[in-house]
Each structure stands twice: as C-alpha cells, then as structure tokens.
Amino acid sequence: MGRLAHEFEDGDDEFGRIQASYAFHTELVKLCGNSRIVASYRQITMQVKLCMSLNLRRLNIVETPSENVARHRELRAAVLSGDMTRALEAISGHGHDTFAREFLDTLPGGTARSAQWLDSRT
C-alpha cells in the first residue's frame, strides 16, 4: 500500500504507477493462500498490466491520484476484513473493467447484450 501511495501521490511516472498497482493487486491475490491461483495470476502479467494501464488512463480523467489511493485502501480494508460480502462488493465496484465499458458503444458489434454480458462478469 505504501508503494502504491508513493507512486500515485508523490510520483508522476505512469510506468511506476502501473508497477505499483500490479504489485498491490498481486499481494491481494496472494491472500487466497493458493499457490496455483497466484501462479496463474502471474502468468497473465502482461494482460493484467495492459488492463491496468488502460484503466489508469481512463480513470485519470475522473479521479485524482489521492482518490485512486483511497479507492485501493478501501479495497484492501474490505478484503482484509474477512467479510465476504463486503470484499465482493468492493471488488465488483473497483473499476477493473472501466476501459472496456468506455469502448462498448464505439466498437463494432457493441450492443446492449454486450453490456449485459459485461455486467454479468462482475
């Protein structure tokens, strides 16, 4: 959490922010205690970092770096609380698909059904 806060609040390097964000999310995944899940998460590193990069670019329009850190503090607290309902709500509202929602209306084939499918995945 400290590295994420430092990169977002004190730094201005987008790569550093993505690295810190990835490290934060990897630590959350490790909390599951399942080495296979953690290994699978690490195997898709490039895809995860691409999504984070696209999300950060989109969220920079509507969210300050301090708000980003606060959002991640809330996510961390919810996951660490042990309250499954709270954790799942925090994960669902985290914004992991922000970039995809932006493109639904502009991509060929994007329909109301596409939006429903995306909503069913959260």
Q: List the structure tokens of 60.
A: 């920079």
Give the CB-side neighbour count of residue 55, counting CA atoms within 13 A: 17
**Residues 1-17: pLDDT tens digits?**
999 999 999 988 888 99
7 within some domain? yes
112 within some domain? no
Q: How far is CA 21 from each of CA 31, 93, 100, 110, rounded to the nearest angstrom?
A: 16, 16, 18, 29
Rounding to the nearest 10 degrees, give the CA dihedral for residues 25, 26, 27, 30. 130
Among 29-33, 44-48, 102-106, 110-114, the range with the most confident prediction by mean pLDDT is: 29-33
11 within some domain? yes
**Residues 24-66: pLDDT tens digits?**
999 999 999 999 999 998 888 877 777 777 777 777 777 888 9
1 or 102: whose pLDDT is higher?
1
What domain count does the chain have?
1
Predicted confidence (pLDDT) at residue 104 exceeds the cutoff of 70: no
Q: What is the rounded distance in angstroms from the CA atom of residue 26 to the CA atom of residue 29? A: 5
41 within some domain? yes
What is the per-residue pLDDT for 65?
87
10 within some domain? yes
12 lies in which domain range? 2-94
**Residues 62-86: pLDDT tens digits?**
788 898 889 889 999 999 999 999 9
pTM: 0.59
What is the per-residue pLDDT for 53?
78
104 within some domain? no
